[in-house]
Amino acid sequence: MASRPVSDPIRQRYTRFVADTLKQRIPTVLKTAEAGFDAATVERLKGISRVIEADGAMVIDLRGWPFKGWEQLPARMNGKRPSQTPFFDFEYWMYFRILSAVRFGETRTDPFRSVKHRDLEKHIAWADEALTKITDLKGGLNLSLDANAHDLSQVSKPGKTYDIGRELLDIDAANLTRLNIIADNFGGEFVADLVLAIIAAEAGVEVVVHVKQLPIFVSDTTADDVTILLDRVSSSGVFGKRLLEAVRRGLIRFASNPFWSAPEFLDRLPVEELGTGERVLTVLKGDLNFRRAIGDVTVDVETPFEKLLLLPSAPLLSLRSIKSYCVAGVTAWPQGVSKTDFPMDGSIVAVQRIPTRATASVGSSSDTAPLLPRVRRWLRRKA
């Protein structure tokens, strides 16, 4: 992957992550995508592996690609090799190739569907129990944070847990009029996000949950995943009853803007979808979304956000477990943990307020996201 003009220990943090990911995680991701497909599709997926292993030239051909926000990626990377490309662009190239191999644009078949939905009933039962214990917004935010510790594409589970900024979750719902949740992983994490949404909605806060159109990064929550979850929950359980009631009453809404799946940074975030004002809280879930928020930089972990070249076009509350090289804005790093050779397995759990910059762009290449059409159809079917 392309090198970065930073000091050696910090650059090594980036190269170490990339090397480990290429060796361990990516072969697993590509193998997972093969499940249930015919021989021709599997062969196309294996072709992706061959390009990566050979450090071959990469190409993105957007002809017939119906999804917005990808238009700039070919110019950034066509003809380059994985070793010459920022890891951010490489990842999006790989998932584009996976979706192209399974003909997602035509069939809408999620290549990661089986692994994402495997334990859904167990997660729903867990949410029933969680809702008997979580009674306020602070508790819901902590639950949502802790649920980000492990996603379905990780090779190893977190070790010891280190906290950064958890005190920032002491927020009173009475001070909010709207909560945006920009979702990350499906399964246990998304169910935890919905527990947070239920608590906020029942406290009188408008809640909008933003999910992806495309099934990328293995476990990302999509509009189709939301429909499947709503079909699976039962109104006899605590979680199902309260969730379905909040959705029917319009207290919880789901939106799926093309931007959330696009290879763009959050300085292009569609602010019109989030609302404005001091009483709006936008929760940004996960490591990739954090990377998008600050331009995927590799800098000293204590570098103030205000010194970065790129910031999001709206203020964000980032909830993530650290699973990559991208860290900034930390003033109280965990004691005894290296600032350059830290674990990237989700052991470090971080809450950070990411500011916007007064001169940040408020434009967007995406359209305003409607309510999910399939959720509307589901509501009509259940009525």
DSSP 8-state symbol, 244: H
The pLDDT confidence band at residue 155, using thresholds 50, 70 and 90, is: very low
What is the mean pLDDT of the segment spanning 145-151? 82
Alpha-carbon distances, residue 265 vs 60, 126, 157, 181 (angstroms): 19, 34, 28, 17
Would you say residue 371 has pLDDT above 90?
Answer: no
Half-sphere exposure of 293 (CA within 13 A, CB side): 28
Q: What's the distance, CA 187 to chain centroid?
A: 13
Q: Which CATH class is domain 117-382?
A: alpha beta
pLDDT in tens, 88-126: 999 999 999 999 999 999 999 999 998 999 999 999 999
C-alpha closest to that of 2 among 327, 298, 293, 345: 298
Q: Residue 32 is inside which H or E element, if any? A: helix 26-33
Mean pLDDT over residues 10-31, rounded? 94
* Mean pLDDT lowest among 2-16, 147-161, 281-295, 305-319: 147-161
DSSP 129: H
Give the number of other Cβ atoms within 10 Å of residue 168's Cβ: 16
Tokens of 348: 């470090």
Helix axes 238-248, 223-232, angle to 10 degrees: 120
Whether residue 372 is predicted with pLDDT greater than 70 in this model: the reply is no
Please provide residue 280's backbone torsions phi and psi, each rounded to the nearest 5 degrees. -105, 125
Average pLDDT, the chain: 90
Q: Tell me the domain boundaries of the chain.
A: 8-111, 117-382
At residue 252, φ and ψ (nearest 5 deg) are: -120, 125
For 199-232, the pLDDT digits (tens) are: 999 999 999 999 999 999 999 999 999 999 999 9
